[in-house]
Amino acid sequence: EVQLLESGGGLVQPGGSLRLSCAASGFTFSSNAMSWVRQTPGRGLVWVSVFSGGGGGTYYADSVKGRFTISRDNSKNTLWLHMSSLRAEDTAVYYCAKHLSGSWSFDSWGQGTLVTVSS
């Protein structure tokens, strides 16, 4: 069974930094692209960043480009999102999501971790 477990969320001041983690199990982590998707309280889902599988590249939504960095360690089955220069509008629940192999869709999601940016 695929499991994705996010951690690292919390309260941070504007301009601050935070690192989110996603521990994966139940599948061959190295083979799959992995994304971060966020959801503002009471609003919709927004794709944030992807780390493609098989040693591929990293890509970002325009709203976080230059401030967020996605990384992964396939030996530890872990995905990270390092967030810096945080703004109030980054406040959201952040989900780790696994891509379905051979398709550009998200077939498994973690339970999410809440990031609140406020002074």
Partner 1 sequence: QSALTQPRSVSGSPGQSVTISCTGTSSDVGGYNYVSWYQQHPGKAPKFMIYDVSKRPSGVPDRFSGSKSGNTASLTISGLQADDEADYYCCSYAGSFTWVFGGGTKVTVL
Residues in contact with partner 1 by the rule CB under 8 A: 35, 37, 43-47, 50, 52, 57, 59, 61-63, 95, 100, 103-112
Contact status, residue 116 vs residue 94, Cβ threshold 8 Å: no
Give 17 or 63: the residue with its C-beta nearer to partner 1.
63
Distance CA 68, CA 18 (A): 10
DSSP 8: -
Give 80 or 95: the residue with its C-beta nearer to partner 1.
95
Kindly state the smallest distance separating residue 99's Cβ from partner 1, in Å.
Answer: 10
Kindly state the smallest distance separating residue 13's Cβ from partner 1, in Å.
Answer: 27
Q: Which of 61, 68, 63, 59 is nearest to 33 (CA)?
A: 59
Kindly state the smallest distance separating residue 30's Cβ from partner 1, in Å.
Answer: 18
Q: In degrees to the nearest 10, what's the CA dihedral of 76, 25, 37, 48?
A: 30
Give 2 or 77: the residue with its C-beta nearer to partner 1.
2
Helix, strand or coil for residue 30?
helix
Give 7 or 17: the residue with its C-beta nearer to partner 1.
7
